Amino acid sequence: MSDPTDWAFPSELRPRPEEWRFDLDRALGSMVLLRTEIPEDAFTAQILGTERLGNGVVIRDDDLILTIGYLLTEATSVWITTAQGAVLAGHPLAYDQQTGFGLVLPLGRPGVPALALGSAARASVGDHVVIAGHGGRAHALKAQLFDKREFAGYWEYVLDEALFAAPAHPQWGGSALIGADGKLLGIGSLLVEEKTGEQSVQGNMFVPVDLLEPILEDLVSRGRAQRPVRPWLGMYATEIGPKLVVAGLPGGGPAERAGLKLGDQVLEVAGERVSGLADLFRKVWALGPAGVEVPLSVTRAGTRIEVRLASADRNDFLKKPALH
């Protein structure tokens, strides 16, 4: 793998200490680089790869690292690199699929400062922010919040209000969105392209850090949040105009076992019409916890088909980290 630190933003795109009311270099020093290795036979290997690279941010004095969960899913090894070049192993402590957050426990002391958690709810569209990756100012970007809105992902994921900032950071996975007060607002998840009028804006989507506090202690002590597990369909759906179409079927998942096919158009959940991706998932989740039967109405080549799908817990399909 090539050196991920062998690049830099042009100086005019980087934040400068005099532009902020907090200690910029200390905040950027909280960032670490994460490398993870995943077995070739892992459920997510084909989609997410067997070698994953991203960022993490130390959020507590006990060196707990917050990142985006897909970097850790089914990882058998985690390596942490600090801004000072120290390298140490880590343990993938938790991945919360509902929020998308992941936690890493360093197996040693990284010796970096913790970044305080802020409040995304108090942030406003138009606010100036910093998007930070591992590597100090050279890998930090001056940016601006351009939207706060609902986000739905084809992998059965919905955020009531995600954060969107531009310009885009090229190493967005696990990057930190830092507010004007020097506190953490969100964790980088995706590269997005949004249309604003006749223009397109390329930016990053961030998971608001506000979602972490209610589940943090459960994740640390139990490895997962203590709430009912949402039913998983194992169906990648996408919006094509007004239609909601099945675009992918993970092998062996509930949707494939129920006989759904690529190209099926989803019409209803339990007799209720669905109006989009977020509405589809919310209607499924409202039926009960993982394992609940999900009645779906779809059309295939012009023919209406009724399917009764036995949902599952997605975690049952994933490799679990070894205990240390």
CATH number at residue 35: 2.40.10.120
Is the same domain home to 222 and 242? no
**What does the pLDDT look like over 213-261, one tens digit per residue?**
999 999 999 999 999 999 999 999 999 999 999 999 999 999 999 999 9
Q: How many domains does the chain have?
A: 2
- What is the domain extent for residue 259? 236-317
296 phi and psi, to 5 degrees? Answer: -120, 140
Is the same domain home to 167 and 310? no
- Global pTM reads 0.95
Residues of the chain falling short of pLDDT 70: 1-5, 196, 322-324
**What does the pLDDT look like over 116-147, one tens digit per residue?**
999 999 999 999 999 999 999 999 999 999 99
Domain end, chosen from 209, 227, 245, is at 227
255 phi and psi, to 5 degrees? Answer: -65, -45
Is the same domain home to 186 and 271? no
- Taking the CA of residue 116 as centre, how many other CA atoms within 13 Å lie in the half-sphere pointing to its CB? 10
CATH number at residue 299: 2.30.42.10
Domain end, chosen from 227, 261, 291, is at 227
Assigned domain for 138 exists:
yes
Instruction: Give the Cα separation of 117 and 19 in Å (integer).
Output: 21
Q: How many CB atoms lie within 10 A of CB 221?
A: 10
Assigned domain for 92 exists:
yes
